Amino acid sequence: MGRSFEEDPLTAALAPPPNETPAQREVRERAESEAKRVSDEIDAQLRRERESEKKRKPVKLLLLGQSESGKTATLKSESELFPPSRLVSTLPLDFQLLYCKRQWSEERTSWRCVILLNLVRNMNDILDILGREMAAANSSALPAASSSNVVKPPTAIPTSTSSSPSSSPLSSDSEFDDPPPRRQSASVGSPGSPRLPPLKFKDKHRLLRLRLAPLRRVQADLEQRLGAAATELYTTDAKSAAPFEGSPPLKREKEFSVHSTNGWKTALERFRVARRRSGEEGVLRKVRDMEDEVQGVIAGCREDMRSVWEDRVVREMLSRRKVRVEDSPGFFLNDVDRIARTDYQITDDDIIRARLRTVGVQEYRVTFEHGHSAGSEWRMYDVGGTRSSRAVWYSYFDDCDAIIFLAPVSCFDEKLAEDKRVNRLEDSYMLWKSVCACKLLARTQLVLFLNKCDLLQAKLMRGAKIRDSVPSFGDRRNDVATATRYFQQHFKEIQRTCSPVQRPFYVHLTSVIDTKSTAVTLGAVEESILRDHLRRADLM
């Protein structure tokens, strides 16, 4: 039996009059339907306002990972290649940087200097080794009393943080700074290792070194222009590995926090500022003169640089030293014919491949106009990844929506540039562990990029064995699929055991210099970060 009106006054009030005629009924129903439409519209409007209120809170995204892991390259692959003039609305992560066209073209020109520095460094690093090997070959040709097969040990690495303008980012086993004597001796045929025939250096090599001497000055000039970012940092202080672990929030220290809402690196800013003061003719002319002079010297050295790079004895020397310049960040020697010219035209690909260390923390603010993030502001922070730069990370953790953590997996057999005793993969594991365990990040979405898969593939194709550097890899298949699965599992396990609160494991295999596939990956990442961001806003 239904409830009577007396029992339910609301129903009684809303009920049609008992003697309602059909005409009255029609009027009433029309009025009710109109009232409902208005009410629905108000609800929808309120919903939209709530959504846009939530979106007004910026999405905060941090890029973390060791130095040379590809953090800046990830941002470059978005923003450098898709300035407003080239934005494609279907791109999922069309980071509409707040650049105007002029800034964009200024930045491209500034990157030219970075690429030239990278190229010149590639060459000077080889010339350094050549000089050492030639000296060693000469001394071994002297009479027994003064001869030695052992190459003079290079300068020892400093024991505390310092920077070295002549330091090179040479990859993997080059170990100039702290080489195992056996390996180095082997290159000239030491006792106890297979004796190799001596390298046959000729006058040509001496001449090439002499003719390329001006490149030293060019490197010094460019490094001076670009400042701290142009040099790599060295530290052997173990406490700097993950200094944010369990630390109280740090005050953002001025010297570390280099905010930039509309520009790239502070280093590049030096070039831009000089150009912008176009009213000050003298300053502008000086910058142009310097750039022209640098470009001119490099162009004059083009043939000799190519001769060195293509020389069979030099290649053999590098191979015996286990130096793979071509795997080092910012390698441009294969492009020497194109770049070492006075009319060199910089390409997008050059910019992605250029290497410039991030100093401090760079902030990028982006407002989306299209896609799921339309109307929302994103604040992205690109940090310096060297050990001495990590202390400042913690101060950016508060209220962070998501972290993209880059772990370069091709580096399983390499050492940190800033501390040659530390395996790079181990360093990534350790950093990831600290990030996962950090209480301040307990609710932050973590997205892992196993990066540099292209280099991993190339390395394995050359015959590098993972188990030689990662004994726990054992007898698994030495291919990219197995290796990435294995590394992935390890990272996942760390996240599972170290996170204060369980959270989903998001992982992507990336080669961030491949801008097209990186855009797709970032599209998926954007969507899931935004979803979490809105969910968090709902809970607030």
Binding span for Mg ion by CB under 5 A among 10-18, 67-75, 106-114, 509-517:
67-75
Contact criterion met (CB below 8 Å) for 227 and 274: no
Instruction: Give the separation between CA 493 and CA 69, rounded to whole angstroms.
Output: 21
Shorter beta-carbon distance to Mg ion: residue 66 or 190: 66
Q: Position 268: which residue type? A: L
453 is in an annotated binding site: yes
Three-class secondary structure of residue 450 per DSSP: strand
Q: Exposed (0-12), middle (13-18) or buried (19+): which is 332, by Cβ within 10 Å? A: buried
Tell which one of 358, 373, 388, 488 touches ligand GTP (CB under 6 A).
358
452 binds ligand GTP (CB under 6 A): yes
454 is in an annotated binding site: yes
230 binds ligand GTP (CB under 6 A): no
Q: Strands 162-164 and 445-451: what pairing?
A: unpaired
Tell which one of 208, 385, 460, 486 touches ligand GTP (CB under 6 A).
385
Site string for ligand GTP, 508-527 (x = CB under 6 A): ---xxx--------------
Only one residue has tokens 């197995």, namely 482
451 binds Mg ion (CB under 5 A): no
Residue 32: C-alpha distances to residues 12, 303, 479 (Å): 16, 86, 69
Tell which one of 326, 363, 454, 527 touches ligand GTP (CB under 6 A).
454
The minimum distance between CB 442 and Mg ion, in angstroms, equals: 26
Tell which one of 67, 185, 190, 488 touches ligand GTP (CB under 6 A).
67
Neighbouring CB atoms inside 10 A of 57's CB total 16
Contact criterion met (CB below 8 Å) for 406 and 88: no
19 is in an annotated binding site: no
Tell which one of 65, 83, 179, 243 touches ligand GTP (CB under 6 A).
65
358 binds Mg ion (CB under 5 A): yes
Tell which one of 59, 62, 69, 119 touches ligand GTP (CB under 6 A).
69
The minimum distance between CB 160 and ligand GTP, in angstroms, equals: 19
- Selection from ligand GTP, Mg ion, none that 73 binds (CB < 5 to 8 A by kind) is ligand GTP
Site string for ligand GTP, 395-434 (x = CB under 6 A): ----------------------------------------
**Order of all β-strands in the sheet with 59-64:** 361-367, 377-383, 59-64, 402-408, 445-451, 506-509
Neighbouring CB atoms inside 10 A of 269's CB total 18
190 binds Mg ion (CB under 5 A): no
69 binds Mg ion (CB under 5 A): no
Q: Exposed (0-12), middle (13-18) or buried (19+): which is 142, by Cβ within 10 Å? A: exposed
Residue 464: C-alpha distances to residues 85, 414, 458 (Å): 43, 12, 9
532 is in an annotated binding site: no
423 is in an annotated binding site: no
Instruction: Give the separation between CA 379 and CA 8, rounded to whole angstroms.
Output: 54
Phi-psi category of residue 344: left, alpha or beta, with phi > 0 → left and psi -120 to 50 → alpha:
beta
For residue 184, report the phi and psi dihedrals to the nearest 5 degrees. Answer: -70, -40
Shorter beta-carbon distance to ligand GTP: residue 51 or 237: 237
452 is in an annotated binding site: yes
- Selection from ligand GTP, Mg ion, none that 401 binds (CB < 5 to 8 A by kind) is none
156's tokens: 């020892």
State the distance between the two ends of the chain, measured CA to CA, in whole angstroms: 45
Shorter beta-carbon distance to ligand GTP: residue 186 or 431: 431
- Selection from Mg ion, ligand GTP, none that 68 binds (CB < 5 to 8 A by kind) is ligand GTP
72 binds Mg ion (CB under 5 A): yes
113 is in an annotated binding site: no
Instruction: Give the separation between CA 449 and CA 509, rounded to whole angstroms.
Output: 6
63's tokens: 């890029």
Site residues for Mg ion per CB under 5 A: 71-72, 358
Q: Which residues are annotated as a binding site for GTP?
A: 327-328, 451-454
Q: Which residues are annotated as a binding site?
A: 327-328, 358, 451-454
Site residues for ligand GTP per CB under 6 A: 65, 67-73, 329-330, 352-353, 355, 357-358, 384-386, 451-452, 454-455, 511-513
